[in-house]
A and B are shown apart, each in its own frame.
Chain A
């Protein structure tokens, strides 16, 4: 009980940290905008330069919200997958969702060179990318669900996910081989991930998926706890394993699929955040873990975005380079320091 109180306190702290890093994230960027102007922009007051107001309200604010959604959504998906497969190496993409998405996107960008020029009529708007990416993820998802209905063993789903990843990667490489540099470049830019090019409409749609995914995750907390004891034991507790597995897969797909569609395949966060949180809050109870992971993911993503923007300089870095660059050493350091791996 005493521990639980400590954990609740940590979760409250994490939540406050999300608010702080969020404000920090909005105040920093390539263009130096005074703090007073940032607050006026956010509160809808008079701003000295209209461009500043535009940057804050229509660029940095949606970017910060996207960072919160992607960070938290991927982190929760990672936690769900790690618990479902009882494998510390699992992440939001183990089901092959991002591979499916990348196949969809690769076909949009590079299909013309293989399927002939008539294919190029597809309007390269943002929606076509989102739709292609979602279709790709859905395709893989259906295959995984079909497999999970047939298979008794959860581990087999893991293998099937990996096989899908290999399959799609192979098709993407064939497409890439036949594509001109400019199209290949577009695909590569997409694969870097990006938080900053979502309009308010897109942020709205992404939020809907996020809310759904998070609600299903919260609803699965009890079942996640029983899964940790092993499938046999969970059955004896009266847990419906197949239904349960299905809910977890759907939650992950909603989160990881929509995030990949709008922000690209953001690397590392989903795998690392659950481990970071477990090191800070050594609890196995998902009532504690789920909210902590949500807040932890948001904080990490906001911080990575601040670094990627290189405040004060005109240059910026792709978000995917930063997530792993910053994340990996932190996880290594934590594990070495603790000497004990909580999983």
Chain B
């Protein structure tokens, strides 16, 4: 890696000497790309290279990562500091989270995807076709990427994600000269913030404009839906999460899930809680507080009421269950069992919000077909 950088620097210096002064890359002024809702990254564009700064690759990260995306044969200033260098536009890519797939598809770049760990999780029909045609390699399971297969693929870039600072397998990949850049979309708390990471992918493909248009469209749809929800005459009470053993795991009031309930003009019973991860609540306290909640937006494994009662008869005490007002994301699955909500949801908060509005205030979206949340059987 260092050698490559060194060679680039030497080339840069040599070519600098032959060029007139006004084209000196050191004197280029960067233009900051507008990022409206995401807090985890920034993009600065220069004439023929750009810099992406990812400041929350994982929660509580100390230093930002600086990624230099340079066009082919572009010269870059001698004194630039960066962690990884990627040549753009990217032609072969490996991504590691299903949340990255919708961005590639929206930018019409799904054909550049060459490998993915855990192909069965991918639900999108477009990408599934490519998998069925054998165009995308299986890179192993979960977070354990098969390094050998990846090195053989040698993509232009690997889009990784990290839970914390120890990422042995990505470090190994970087040592082989394949750049790994971290995507922190999952650390964003706001629905629109997550969706805005499409601009991160836009920069990789030189499609910044298209990415901006896509995001603008999603944002305006989202805000319009939010305005529509304000016109509702009722404000139903909502619970979320699900019970394992006798503990109820409930999303915090400042979480991504809770934001949708709020924006859909409904009353999330745990909206005053704050934290990362989920609340672990004693069953009896949930029963006392939320027995009469009107809707239950479940993220659990259940697809039918029968399953629910098999798991625990206590569920029968809840009004939402008795009135058959339980909705789950587990019913929208891809053909190999991946859950669509976890893949497409972060990229399309407008659809999640509309699902919520159609469930809470059916009179506002009459002919709307639910995308992620389906009523239990």
Contacts and interface: CB of A to CB of B under 8 A. Distances in A.
A and B are partners in one complex rather than unrelated chains: yes
Interface of A: 29-31, 51, 54-55, 58-60, 63, 113, 117, 120, 123-127, 177-182, 185-186, 189-190, 192, 194-197, 199, 264, 309-310, 314-316, 318
B282 A54 contact: no
Minimum-distance CB pairs A-B, first 8? A196-B246, A125-B310, A194-B245, A30-B285, A30-B282, A316-B282, A314-B285, A189-B244
Contacts of B301: 124, 182, 186
Interface in B120-146: 120-121, 141-142, 144
11 contacts: A30-B282, A31-B287, A117-B337, A123-B307, A177-B142, A180-B142, A195-B246, A314-B279, A314-B282, A316-B246, A316-B282
Contacts of A190: 245
Given A124-B301, A126-B310, A178-B141, A117 B336 contact: yes
A269 B7 CA distance: 65
B283 A59 contact: yes
A316 B280 contact: yes
Contacts of A125: 307, 310-311
A178 B142 CA distance: 7
Contacts of B314: 58-59, 197
A309 B245 contact: no
Contacts of A196: 245-246, 283
A196 B287 CA distance: 14
A29 B287 contact: no
A195 B245 CA distance: 8
A59 B245 contact: no
Size class of the contact patch on chain B? 20 to 34
B73 interface: no
Given A31-B288, A117-B337, 5 more contacts: A51-B291, A124-B301, A126-B310, A126-B311, A314-B279
Nearest to A198: B246
Contacts of A113: 141
B235 interface: no
Nearest to A181: B142
B336 to A, nearest CB: 7
B258 to A, nearest CB: 16
Nearest to B288: A31
B247 A316 contact: yes
Interface string B69-95: 000000000000000000000000000
A315 B246 contact: no
A239 to B, nearest CB: 43
Given A117-B336, A180-B142, A309 B282 contact: yes
Contacts of A30: 281-282, 284-285
Interface in B266-313: 279-285, 287-288, 291, 301, 307, 310-313
Contact of B317 (A54, A182, A192): A54
A315 B281 contact: yes
Contacts of B144: 177
A59 B310 contact: no
A111 to B, nearest CB: 13
A197 B307 contact: no
Contact of B307 (A29, A63, A124, A177): A124
A51 B285 CA distance: 11
B281 A314 contact: yes
B1 to A, nearest CB: 30
B139 to A, nearest CB: 14
Contacts of A124: 301, 307, 310-311
Which interface residue of A58, A197, A315 has the most chain B CB atoms within 10 A? A197
Contacts of A314: 279, 281-282, 285
A309 B280 CA distance: 11
Nearest to A201: B313
Interface in B325-346: 336-337
A69 to B, nearest CB: 16
A314 B278 CA distance: 13
Contacts of A315: 279-282
Contacts of A264: 245
Q: Which among B120, B244, B281, B337 has the highest number of chain A CB atoms within 10 Å?
A: B244
A54 B301 CA distance: 26
